[in-house]
Structure 1
Amino acid sequence: MKETAENPLHLKSVNHISLVCKSVEESIDFYQRVLGFFPIRRPGSFDFDGAWLFGYGIGIHLLRAEDPENLPKKTEINPKDNHISFQV
Structure 2
Amino acid sequence: MIQINLTGEPDLYTRPVPMLDFVFSQRVTKRVIFKGYAKNILNPAIETVYANPGTGGKWYGNKYLNRSYKRGGEFMMGFTYNLY
Q: Structure 2-normalised TM-score? A: 0.20
**Which has the larger Rg?**
2
Q: Structure 1-normalised TM-score? A: 0.19
Structure with a larger share of its residues in strand: 2
Structure with a larger share of its residues in helix: 1
